């Protein structure tokens, strides 16, 4: 059951809201999890920090690094930021290879990132495109290549803020009931985006309702929704 799970988000807090429970669950089940942020979201997602007089970009990055590291630790994951800049996040050839190398080094069985569309955020679709491409470079085309490749990781998209506008169709619910306190603790570390804590706590309850109806399992109280991109291979249905 133990899995290697890697979450790659555009900004340093993205993983907490949308995949924190799945990360904590994987670690509780004996797996290993790594969170990679392409940027700190220092310009576009740190509004509360910029209200302080004399604030600097370096200080915002430092605070965001501490928040994300503590949040990841609360879930049992490691955290690393490639610090590529945000609003706009731009992926050049070097950045793409850095992301591909990160995937190759960790060799995840499960890779999680953004949806390909988000009308409210200019960086999230850029992150999706980069991660999707980097995944292909890390794994090759599923055949032997002229460069080292890893076993193709399953690709999941986490739930965006307004899913119906982001091309998101939930195909998998993860029961996060046993780890909800860990997710709450991780969310509480994100002091620069406190307004999202209530929102995502409510979302976990709503998805718990949907998961109960889909599974008939009345014990599911909280869930996270994901969209599976690559077909799952099974020995029987």
Residues contributing to the site for Zn ion (CB under 5 A): 10-11, 14
Q: Would you state the structure tokens that stand for residue 84, as one six-digit string?
A: 């590529």
What span, in angstroms and rounded, lies between the C-alpha atoms of 70 and 179? 16
Please report, for residues 1, 64, 156, 186, the alpha-carbon distance to residue 14 in angstroms, rounded to integers and kept in the order given: 26, 12, 14, 12
Are 171 and 63 contacting, i.e. CB atoms less than 8 angstroms apart? no
CB nearer to Zn ion: give 76 or 125. Answer: 125
CB of 181 to Zn ion, least distance (A): 24
Q: How many residues does the chain have?
A: 237
CB of 66 to Zn ion, least distance (A): 18
Phi first, then psi, for residue 224 (nearest 5°) are -120, 145
Please report, for residues 36, 101, 131, the alpha-carbon distance to residue 98 in angstroms, rounded to integers and kept in the order given: 11, 5, 11
CB nearer to Zn ion: give 5 or 10. Answer: 10
CB of 124 to Zn ion, least distance (A): 6
CB of 75 to Zn ion, least distance (A): 17
CB nearer to Zn ion: give 69 or 123. Answer: 123
CB of 21 to Zn ion, least distance (A): 18
Please report, for residues 75, 79, 178, 195, 233, the alpha-carbon distance to residue 7 in angstroms, rounded to integers and kept in the order given: 12, 10, 20, 22, 21
Q: Which residue is nearest to Zn ion (CB)?
A: 11
CB nearer to Zn ion: give 25 or 114. Answer: 114
- Chain centroid, CA 130 distance in Å: 14
CB nearer to Zn ion: give 11 or 182. Answer: 11
What span, in angstroms and rounded, lies between the C-alpha atoms of 16 and 109? 20
CB of 86 to Zn ion, least distance (A): 8
CB nearer to Zn ion: give 11 or 65. Answer: 11
33: left (phi over 0), alpha (psi -120 to 50) or beta: beta
């Amino acid at each position: 059951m133990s899995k290697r799970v890697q979450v790659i988000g555009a900004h340093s807090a993205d993983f907490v809201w949308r995949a924190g429970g799945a990360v904590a669950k994987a670690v509780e089940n004996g797996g290993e999890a790594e969170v990679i942020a392409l940027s700190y979201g220092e310009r576009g997602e740190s509004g509360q920090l910029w209200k302080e007089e004399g604030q600097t970009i370096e200080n915002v990055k430092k605070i965001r690094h501490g928040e994300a590291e503590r949040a990841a630790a609360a879930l049992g994951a490691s955290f690393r930021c490639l610090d590529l800049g945000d609003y706009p996040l731009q992926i050049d050839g070097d950045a793409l290879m850095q992301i591909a190398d990160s995937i190759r080094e960790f060799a995840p069985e499960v890779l999680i990132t953004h949806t390909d569309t988000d009308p409210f955020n200019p960086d999230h679709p850029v992150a999706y495109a980069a991660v999707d491409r980097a995944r292909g470079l890390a794994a090759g085309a599923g055949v032997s290549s002229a460069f080292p490749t890893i076993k193709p990781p399953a690709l999941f998209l986490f739930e965006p803020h307004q899913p119906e506008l982001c091309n998101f169709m939930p195909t998998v619910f993860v029961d996060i009931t046993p780890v909800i306190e860990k997710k709450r603790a991780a969310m509480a570390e994100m002091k620069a985006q406190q307004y999202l804590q209530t929102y995502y706590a409510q979302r976990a309850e709503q998805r718990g309702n949907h998961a109960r109806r889909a599974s008939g399992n009345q014990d599911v109280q909280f869930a996270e929704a994901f969209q599976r991109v690559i077909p799952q291979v099974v020995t029987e249905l």
